[in-house]
Structure 1
């Protein structure tokens, strides 16, 4: 696994939505729009948030939403051109940020120009992705497809990308990546590859594919669901599974992304935003924050045409255009991301649940002699946790807690364990 990913905290951006691009590709005669440059005023914002990388959604020429690619070697003309990408790389590097690109290699848009042998055959013509007629499935048994994907990965890594999120990896045979990646890694040994895997055998897929990581949807679901249901036993079960995964690889963790309802909308009680973030940023993994979540943006994902629009909105030209009421949640993110960066060993920490009720839990995240303890209280009353605080120092959110073992209603606390 590349060493830089051990310290990565990613700010995820969906560029087509973020920059206010049209919903569909323009006619070829229309001039290129340089919207990718609209990300530049936000780079310092990402740094101030504490992030060390940008996880970009699709930027390649596509028909509509970016996941119906028609040319993997061309920047979408709604976003810009090679010069715009090069400037983005230069400006991110100047700030110590890395760029992870989003590649769709399970399927392509209908107007993709590959040969007939590139596509998987179905009973009524070409197979499609999950029934979407405009998304044609690639045939991963074809050498030409393998060579094409390797060439795309190489091309953009050579231009300055640091890694790839591989969309819909769960639909791609893991053996395909086992054939493609070794040659790419030989030429780009520091590249990081994370696959989108929603369910199933995460560890098995990583082992068979040779990927560095996959998306940890089990933990994402457990975070908001256990909080909403006041059932922290679900979280405990997910953390036990998470520990098992960490023995094999380091998952890509998140509390929100471009495909799901916004965290601020998903949670029944806004007082529990801090609980969700405290869990995310004190357990093992490579954390990703979806742009706008750090401002408590709302948005409901709906299963219909245009159902992602609410969770992929356009942003202001600069951070100065943000509404002021998001600032407290931004500061909360800043504080927890800062805590995470001061404890980089958390990337591979195992988390044990040392005390558990439906509405209260003690999580101890440990790596070697270092440990953080997170206290979660979802109840309407203060809760005294049965923990020995003699070697614990409160870190957040209230460093000066009079009694660190007592956590107020709908509150949480993180404490550092001093070595014996």
Structure 2
């Protein structure tokens, strides 16, 4: 599945306009099917995968799970989920769900019910990274392994293609290896994407038996090198990226639900250049919903810190502002280019020349070659030249 995958990454609670905090039964509703109206848009963009942030019952933002087997009542129910899955199957869209298996919400029944959660010497539940509303799971307890395997198989049986593993870096790699091995006995084609920010990217794939992990090093280098006019940082990251890719595929992105919008960080011209990088570099790319429309958003502080980067979508794509159409067309054109040159996904990247404001790198694979020239000054630009004669130019 991952060889030709390009994901549209959506945060369902935000995208469907569900309340995140201080909600009651009156706020429950059948919001999940609203995403069905966006599936043709996803296909028009050129994506073939839907990466969904949490959809399970939770107290607030979705990462404080209360029930791994129940659709969040703010989003709907099993019937709503089945409708979405059927619509995805009709369009050939594969779905990955976000599995939060490092911790649960403090109000999860297992916390007070003697379940497999970490407890201190005083017997009290251990909070994850100081978040009082999140309780760490005890991964040394066999019940945790059994729970995760059962949850994964339950939703794979319901038609999903795999899992994004939230904060996979905080879970022992041996735990992932055991879980993945057991799940693949029943679902050998299941896909596992691990979230890792800092740490041993290759080790998590190799020792955890995962398919891919999030390439945060490359994400940081892309926006930082553009913002600071310092392509030396990108050159270093590309060397690292090539080393990572030799050991296992990397999941690449320039935006997600946890970071400032690329448009707010580097502007429209910088975002265009970041998009060129995303779709010319090896890896498994994802587009965070709204980045293809030049959405803006900067993380704040406090309980509402993430709201600005997790906005509601209009009911229909036709209601989007025309101001985002140029960015949409750029994404669509670059994704189309990548489809025509699918070898890019597993290619080898090498930096040929670097200056603060310019970089030249090549991507090669299977007898193919792409030359990429990027500039930041005196103008933002990109020149792509394929060995088959196809070219692409960008000027901002």
Offset of residue 117 of structure 1: 4.4
Cα distance in 2 for partners of 1:309, 1:244 equals 35
The alignment partner of 1:120 has SS state of: coil
TM-score, normalised with respect to structure 1? 0.90
Residue number in structure 2 paired with 1:393: 389
Residue number in structure 2 paired with 1:375: 373
Cα distance in 2 for partners of 1:333, 1:302 equals 27
Cα distance in 1 for partners of 2:176, 2:248 equals 16
Cα distance in 1 for partners of 2:71, 2:90 equals 22
Cα distance in 1 for partners of 2:341, 2:371 equals 13
Query: Residues 160, 381 of structure 1: CA spacing in aligned structure 2 closer, same or farther, 3 A cutoff?
Result: closer
Query: Residues 127, 13 of structure 1: CA spacing in aligned structure 2 closer, same or farther, 3 A cutoff?
Result: same
The 5 A counterparts of 1:325-344 are 325-344=323-342
Question: What does the per-residue CA deviation read over 1:290-331, in whole Å, with 9 as the maximum and x for residues that have no partner?
Answer: 000000000001242201000001110000111110000000
Question: More helix by proportion, 1 or 2?
Answer: 2
The 5 A counterparts of 1:3-402 are 4-24=1-21, 26-27=23-24, 30=26, 32-114=28-110, 115-122=113-120, 125-267=124-266, 269-380=267-378, 393-397=389-393
Cα distance in 2 for partners of 1:216, 1:181 equals 21
Cα distance in 2 for partners of 1:90, 1:170 equals 33
Q: CA contact under 8 A between 1:25 and 1:78: conserved in structure 2?
A: no
Higher mean C-alpha deviation, range 118-127 or range 42-51 = 118-127
Query: Residues 155, 380 of structure 1: CA spacing in aligned structure 2 closer, same or farther, 3 A cutoff?
Result: same
Cα distance in 2 for partners of 1:46, 1:24 equals 29
Cα distance in 1 for partners of 2:135, 2:364 equals 45
TM-score, normalised with respect to structure 2? 0.95
Offset of residue 381 of structure 1: 5.6
The alignment partner of 2:75 has SS state of: coil
Tell me the C-alpha RMSD between the 2 structures: 2.0
Residue number in structure 2 paired with 1:403: none
Higher mean C-alpha deviation, range 114-123 or range 280-289 = 114-123
Q: Number of matched residues? A: 393
The alignment partner of 1:22 has SS state of: coil
Query: Residues 31, 166 of structure 1: CA spacing in aligned structure 2 closer, same or farther, 3 A cutoff?
Result: same
Q: CA contact under 8 A between 2:375 and 2:382: conserved in structure 1?
A: no
Query: Residues 391, 316 of structure 1: CA spacing in aligned structure 2 closer, same or farther, 3 A cutoff?
Result: closer
Structure 1 unaligned residues grouped into runs of 5+: 399-409, 412-420
The alignment partner of 1:12 has SS state of: strand
The alignment partner of 2:80 has SS state of: helix
Cα distance in 1 for partners of 2:363, 2:199 equals 25
Aligned structure 1 segments of 4 or more residues deviating by more than 4 angstroms = 25-28, 381-385, 389-392
The alignment partner of 2:303 has SS state of: coil
Query: Residues 394, 64 of structure 1: CA spacing in aligned structure 2 closer, same or farther, 3 A cutoff?
Result: same
Cα distance in 1 for partners of 2:382, 2:153 equals 55
Offset of residue 382 of structure 1: 9.1
Structure 2 unaligned residues grouped into runs of 5+: none
Query: Residues 343, 110 of structure 1: CA spacing in aligned structure 2 closer, same or farther, 3 A cutoff?
Result: same
Cα distance in 2 for partners of 1:271, 1:254 equals 17
Higher mean C-alpha deviation, range 373-382 or range 130-139 = 373-382
Offset of residue 206 of structure 1: 1.3
The alignment partner of 2:280 has SS state of: coil
The alignment partner of 1:352 has SS state of: strand
Question: What does the per-residue CA deviation read over 1:370-410, in whole Å, with 9 as the maximum and x for residues that have no partner?
Answer: 1111110111169999x9x8967352236xxxxxxxxxxx6
Offset of residue 271 of structure 1: 1.6
Question: What does the per-residue CA deviation read over 1:318-372, in whole Å, with 9 as the maximum and x for residues that have no partner?
Answer: 0011111000000010001111111111111111111111111111011120111
